[in-house]
Amino acid sequence: AQSVTQLDSQVPVFEEAPVELRCNYSSSVSVYLFWYVQYPNQGLQLLLKYLSGSTLVKGINGFEAEFNKSQTSFHLRKPSVHISDTAEYFCAVNAGGTSYGKLTFGQGTILTVHP
Amino acid sequence: GAGVSQSPSNKVTEKGKDVELRCDPISGHTALYWYRQSLGQGLEFLIYFQGNSAPDKSGLPSDRFSAERTGGSVSTLTIQRTQQEDSAVYLCASSLGGTNTDTQYFGPGTRLTVL
């Protein structure tokens, strides 16, 4: 079975500073990895996903993530954050095979951007 | 185009009552997922539909929970004899084909409160 650990429950940061949200996963099989964002009172929106190929994945809103198989990590980064990036971020894994599209999520990281 | 819609947006019920939650997926999406988001458990997978059939019901927490999908479109999640621990936000998502790599599009959720 797979699991996802988001190492920080809350990350405060000042506007225009860089940010990294950490995600580690455990799985006995090859996985597909996703980052979703949830703005207040809204549903989840896909930021980016890693399926195969280049380990550096670029997503929407200037976010990127790097897949590291040896460290089983998929950390999310943004070089300069805006107030509008304040939201909760979820890392998720799909184990492939017969798991269909079932996603296993981490506990979420609340990113708060201060002016 | 229209996204995933869910109704009602909020539902308050008394312990022991039955509730029905509705999800309208994006038109043309064959796959539909239900997830539950609660403070204690985070985001959990409940059930997956491909067309009208449910190949994966592994996340349903008890036999009080059931779901159906008719006409390959609208889905209803029913919780019988609700308990306080059922209080959560119930999220519905749909994807085009239901493969492991498809992007899931989430609705805004139904917030269920059991008194």
> How do residues B73-115 score in pLDDT, each as one tens digit?
999 999 999 999 999 999 999 999 878 888 999 999 999 999 9
pLDDT at res. B71 = 87
- Cβ <8 Å between A43 and B95: no
Please write the tens of the pLDDT for every residue from A35-48: 999 998 888 999 99
Please write the tens of the pLDDT for every residue from A55-84: 999 999 999 999 998 999 999 999 999 999
Q: State whether the Cα torsion B24-B71-B49-A60 is positive or negative.
A: negative
CA angle B48, B50, B83 (to 5 degrees): 30
pLDDT at B1 over 60: no
Q: Judge whether A13 and A21 are in contact, CB under 8 Å.
A: no
pLDDT at A28 over 70: no
Q: Does A57 touch chain B (CB under 8 A)?
A: no
Q: How many helical (H) and strand (E) elements, i.e. helices and strands, does chain B have?
A: 0, 11
Tell me the residue length of chain B.
Answer: 115
User: Nearest-CA residue of chain B relative to A44?
Assistant: B106
Q: Judge whether B69 and B32 are in contact, CB under 8 Å.
A: yes
3-state secondary structure of B34: strand
- Cβ <8 Å between A103 and B31: no
**Mutation to test the A interface, candidates B104, B105, B110, B111, most A Cβ within 10 Å:** B104
Upper half-sphere CA count for residue B75 (Cβ side, 13 Å)? 34
pLDDT at A1 over 90: no
Residues of A in contact with B91 (CB under 8 A): 43-44
Q: Does A41 touch chain B (CB under 8 A)?
A: yes
- Nearest Cβ partner for A43 among B33, B42, B109: B109
User: Nearest-CA residue of chain A relative to B57?
Assistant: A102
pLDDT at res. B41 = 80
Q: Judge whether A36 and A45 are in contact, CB under 8 Å.
A: yes
Q: What are the structure tokens assigned to A56, written together?
A: 């550096």
Please write the tens of the pLDDT for every residue from B14-53: 999 999 999 999 999 999 999 999 987 889 999 999 988 8
Average pLDDT over residues A13-24: 97
Mean of the per-residue pLDDT values of chain A: 92
User: Nearest-CA residue of chain A relative to B41?
Assistant: A107
**Mutation to test the A interface, candidates B37, B47, B50, B101, most A Cβ within 10 Å:** B101
User: Nearest-CA residue of chain B relative to A3?
Assistant: B44
Q: Above pLDDT 70, what percent of chain A?
A: 98
What confidence tier does A90 reach under pLDDT thresholds 50, 70, 90?
Answer: very high
pLDDT at res. A27 = 75
Q: Does B43 touch chain A (CB under 8 A)?
A: yes
